[in-house]
Amino acid sequence: VNTTLPTECADFTVPLDYTTPSSKETIKLQIAKIKAKVQPAKGTILINFGGPGSDGRTSLGKQGGLLQVYVSS
């Protein structure tokens, strides 16, 4: 992530098909996190910055500070 904000990275395992509860198939998503400015935080917001060909890490780096302002007020 190209940002000066403290960032954490992790894998997030989710169901591959959430419409079939009996399915045990999962997919691992790579995620990056910028902590909330105000602590304790009320929760986590997951954002998908795009589809194929889009680099979400770059989007988070560019927009992370702005997103912090929006969700902290």
Asked if residue 61 has pLDDT above 90, the reply is no
Residues above pLDDT 90, as percent of the chain: 15
Mean pLDDT of the chain: 78
What per-residue confidence (pLDDT) applies to 21? 86
What per-residue confidence (pLDDT) applies to 52? 60
pLDDT-derived band at 6 (thresholds 50, 70, 90) equals confident
DSSP code of residue 49: -
Q: Is 4 left (phi over 0), alpha (psi -120 to 50) or beta?
A: alpha
Asked if residue 39 has pLDDT above 60, the reply is yes
Instruction: Work out the number of other CB atoms within 10 angstroms of the CB of residue 64.
Output: 20
